[in-house]
Structure 1
Amino acid sequence: MKTSITFSALLFFCISLNSFAQNDTIAKERYTSHNKGKFTISWGGNREKFTDSDIHFMGDDYNFVVQSATAHDKPKGWHVDYITPGRMTIPQTNFKLGYFFTDKYSISIGVDHMKYVMTQNQTANITGIINGNPPFNGSYANTPTVMTEEFLMFEHTDGLNYVYAEIARQDDISKWFGIKNTDKFQININGGFGFGALYPKTNTTLMGKERHDDFNVAGYGTSIKAGINFTFFKYFTIEGDLKGGYINMPNIRTTKSTSDSAKQEFFYGETIIALGGIFRL
């Protein structure tokens, strides 16, 4: 009987000691040691570069291609509009909401609000036919033509909206820099792949026709990114990303007439700086 009591007491002591050790480890474990179950949110701005692209315009009385058209973005610079309700879509912005389903992997949804402006007054070759739109009527065969405001203005400035889902991986590299208390400051690197739809509001002035000027699902895009993330005091983040991708828009609305449309495809590069947070509900 005494042996049984002694063994039971010893077992209870070992279990209690093990539990205490586990609780002590949990108590000492940093908030930033694990990401699984955390949500992220961020808001920031971007700059973009676009490759030259062929833009194909189609309608009842015209069908032509502007070849190798150059384009640029429309930066706002450092401005209060980035945080002013009602004016947040005037600059080039980025919004993303994510969830870590493991310590390293997350899934997110986001909107890259980019701006695409075909360079005005550039000379580009045109191939195709225009009828019923004087003084631009004629047959074109690699014909150098100046993109005047009277002939063509073409831009996605409200904007070139890439609405996407993304899967990404994040790794803590704080130890590379000798940082021990990651709850105060943590450095992470990340990379990801995204896929989504293009939902632009295209502003087009085409041979004097009334423009469409409304949002439209125009096509799809894919993207890859790599970035660095700084986390301060467990919950606050600053992230810088380099992002690139492919955009294909076969269904661009150009004028009020549903018979008028355009299509184009191109590659783009994007730099992003965003502020945000990481938290558990």
Structure 2
Amino acid sequence: MKKICVLLFLLVIFKASNAQEITLKPNGTVDIGKSIFSTKNERNFSRKGNLYIHWGYNLSWYGKSDIHFKGTGYDFVLKDVVAHDRQSDLSLKYLSPKNISIPQWNMRIGYFIKDNYSISIGWDHMKYVMDIPQQVAIVGHIDDNVSNPSIPTGNYAGNYNGEMITVNSDMLTFEHTDGFNYANVEVERYDDIWVARSQKTSLTLETGLGAGLIIPRSDVRFFETGKNNSLNVAGYGVSIKAGLKFYITEGLFLQNTTKFGATNLPNIHTTGRNAFDKASQKINYIENFFAIGYQF
């Protein structure tokens, strides 16, 4: 969190030292992007050159996913695995700086390259937890002993061709809970829906496209052997989003956004024996987040 605060401070200083004057057209009017909701501009100021930051918390939903486990003595796929996010209970303790990053959170910093377009960088901290126990189809093989040093697999050893098995915790627990992290760059467009006469309050539609890296910290127990791994670049993702920004003042805003994402993770850490064991999967998700932010 200290690094984040330092980064935000430096960006504010950069913004203050590189502030741009609003560019006027030859007729003296401000260059404001057209909204799809109106044929005329209701604002009398441009956002070009503005910087914004926001912080918020999310909910997420995951599509069924195949998980491929491969290593010494095994190579198998669990089909259509079901998983959910992990919500933290509402509590005032998360207002403390040392606890603020425990729930599923979102942080974003953006810069308006035009009145109605911005480029931003962000970190979406989601959580992904495989349901245990659950019945799934399995394809592949599991030897009596796997990995190095060897781990006994007991009754799970065998060759499989789509049979249904019940995955219990003695076979597997599988989580990206610290977390299912999406570090991304987005391009956003803004369309005014309503602007108050005071020009201080407004409602804006934000849409955007994004791409970035998936950097999970995966907590895995594989036949009761594993660890809460360190962060690693496990793959990449792309996303689209749409949401509403309600400007309480010209700078302070509340936001609710829904994001649809697709990810590919070919390099997931499992037992911690990264030279021998790994997993891969593709995860599709829907994320909804609420945020508070400031634009200046």
Under TM normalisation by the shorter chain, which class is it?
Answer: 0.7 to 0.9
- Name which of 168, 178, 184 aligns with 1:158: 178
Quote how far apart the aligned CAs of 1:43 are.
0.4
> Is the contact made by 1:174 and 1:182 (CA closer than 8 Å) also made in structure 2?
no
3-state SS of 1:250 partner: strand
Cα 1:167/1:32, change in 2 over 3 Å:
farther
Quote how far apart the aligned CAs of 1:201 are.
0.2
Task: Tell me the equivalent position of 1:134.
Answer: 153
1:198 paired to 2:214? yes
Task: Tell me the equivalent position of 1:101.
Answer: 113
1:148 corresponds to which letter in structure 2?
N
1:245 paired to 2:245? no
Quote how far apart the aligned CAs of 1:32 are.
6.9
- Number of residue pairs aligned between Structure 1 and Structure 2: 250
In the alignment, the residues of structure 2 paired with residue 47 and residue 82 of structure 1 have an alpha-carbon distance, to the nearest angstrom, of: 16
Deviations 1:183-214 (A, max 9, x none): 1x111111000000000000000012232521
In the alignment, the residues of structure 2 paired with residue 230 and residue 134 of structure 1 have an alpha-carbon distance, to the nearest angstrom, of: 55
Report the identity percentage: 38
1:278 paired to 2:278? no
- Name which of 75, 86, 91 aligns with 2:87: 75
- Name which of 116, 127, 140 aligns with 2:128: 116
Quote how far apart the aligned CAs of 1:47 are.
0.5
Please report the TM-score for the alignment, with normalisation by the length of structure 1.
0.85
Task: Tell me the equivalent position of 1:3.
Answer: none
1:130 corresponds to which letter in structure 2?
I
1:149 corresponds to which letter in structure 2?
S
More helix by share: 1
1:257 paired to 2:273? yes
3-state SS of 1:181 partner: coil
Task: Tell me the equivalent position of 1:14.
Answer: none
3-state SS of 1:34 partner: coil
2:153 corresponds to which letter in structure 1?
P
Q: Give the root-mean-square deviation of aligned CA atoms.
A: 1.9
> Is the contact made by 1:82 and 1:93 (CA closer than 8 Å) also made in structure 2?
no
Deviations 1:62-116 (A, max 9, x none): 1110000001000114333543222233200000000001100000000000000
2:68 corresponds to which letter in structure 1?
H
In the alignment, the residues of structure 1 paired with residue 44 and residue 215 of structure 2 have an alpha-carbon distance, to the nearest angstrom, of: 36
Deviates more, 1:78-87 or 1:208-217: 78-87
In the alignment, the residues of structure 2 paired with residue 276 and residue 83 of structure 1 have an alpha-carbon distance, to the nearest angstrom, of: 15
* Counterparts of residues 159-178 of structure 1 (less than 5 Å): 159-175=179-195
Task: Tell me the equivalent position of 2:60.
Answer: 48
2:284 corresponds to which letter in structure 1?
F
Task: Tell me the equivalent position of 1:209.
Answer: 225
- Name which of 26, 47, 72 aligns with 1:35: 47
In the alignment, the residues of structure 1 paired with residue 203 and residue 293 of structure 2 have an alpha-carbon distance, to the nearest angstrom, of: 14
> Is the contact made by 1:174 and 1:180 (CA closer than 8 Å) also made in structure 2?
no
2:237 corresponds to which letter in structure 1?
G
In the alignment, the residues of structure 1 paired with residue 245 and residue 226 of structure 2 have an alpha-carbon distance, to the nearest angstrom, of: 45
Please report the TM-score for the alignment, with normalisation by the length of structure 2.
0.80
Quote how far apart the aligned CAs of 1:137 are.
1.4
Q: What are structure 2's unaligned runs of at least 5 residues?
A: 1-26, 31-41, 146-151
1:272 corresponds to which letter in structure 2?
F
